[in-house]
Amino acid sequence: MLPGVELEVRHLRALCAIADTGSVHKAARQLGMTQPSLTTQLRRIEQAVGGQLFTRQRTGSKPTPLGRTVLTRARPIVAQMTELVREAKDAAGLGPGGPGARLRLGSTGSRAVPGWLRRLHERLPERDITFQTDVSANTLLRMVAGNQLDAAFVHEVEGSPLRVPDGVELRVLVRREPQFVAVPEPHPAARAGRAVALVELADQKWMVDPSVDGDWDGLRRVFADAGVDPRIVYGDYLSAGDLVAAGEVVTPCQPTSQPRPGMSIVPLEGDPLGVRLVVGFRRGTGLGEEGDAVFAALRASYEAVAWSSPAYARWLTTPDSVRGDLHPDPRSSIAGQADFSLSGD
């Protein structure tokens, strides 16, 4: 170790974050740092241990053999320190249920999140509620397992199961949510207000975010089943909307997505792409009644955004003769549906 350079728990936590996310950029976002700051910190850590800990590859940052050795020792230290802080807060009356206690939530992103947080502030006015997003559902579940989050609202793409850590249990919010597609307004399906077949979009460029767990694998399977091989553009879903509106790409999207000028949201014919929406909690150390409040607030918010989304509301009320599924009266709860239902199981 170089003179004057000492490793601290925050350094070990940074190494674990880089390894878990596979990216210095994502790790910096998770840790609330800038990427240059984390890069500088990584260099100092590598100086301290005397060697390179990560290699930058096309697929992200990968631990070197030395890095794997250091991580093997770092992870239990970080976990023990996190548990020590939690136990200390519990003893001080600041743990779950204590006065001024913090409720730490995460999500991969959904229009239901703002309403979820608003409802929780109303239900639990004494709690300090914090929130963070990450495109990786697996990262958020690891944070739940590591006591960095109390609950995480994430999605699981069909055919790409989540890697659920030991000690984390899932509560199912929606058993199967169909994924729609955002298309430019000039597209015939947008003008007709109907579901679009994948073959109709085979000549379009599709934008997909490869950093979202399961999305690219799921879409690739759907393309293979439909016998199409469209051009793929890699990007992020935040910028995809502008490119769709400009007529450059189409992109898969959540059915709760709202249309915007130049862009329409339409279902895919046959609903070939679906996800399961779940909330991850720590097993055995859950939030008890507050966990029920977290789940109930999310369910209420999701139902509200589902029925307020024009394309989704039409999908939910399509006659059985067209879709072949069971549908309730549009004024009833989504929870009454057959293959698309809210669940507390």
Q: Is the dihedral of CA 239, 215, 189, 249 positive or negative?
A: positive
| Angle formed at CA 243 by CA 276 and CA 253, multiple of 5 degrees | 10
Please give the pLDDT value at position 161.
Answer: 93
Q: In the predicted model, what is the mean pLDDT of residues 129-156?
A: 92
37: enclosing H helix or E strand: helix 35-49
> Is residue 329 predicted with pLDDT exceeding 70?
no
> Is residue 298 predicted with pLDDT exceeding 90?
yes
Virtual torsion, Cα 216, 219, 220, 223, nearest 10 deg: -160
Average pLDDT of the chain to the nearest whole number: 84
Q: In the predicted model, what is the mean pLDDT of residues 296-318?
A: 92
Q: Is the dihedral of CA 17, 23, 28, 30 positive or negative?
A: negative
CA dist 79 and 16 (Å) reads 10
> Is residue 240 predicted with pLDDT exceeding 90?
no
pLDDT digits (tens, 9 = 90+) for 68-119: 999 999 988 988 887 777 666 655 545 544 444 788 999 998 999 999 999 9
pTM of this structure: 0.68
- Strand locations in the chain, DSSP E? 54-57, 60-63, 102-107, 128-133, 151-157, 168-178, 180-184, 205-208, 231-234, 251-253, 263-266, 274-282
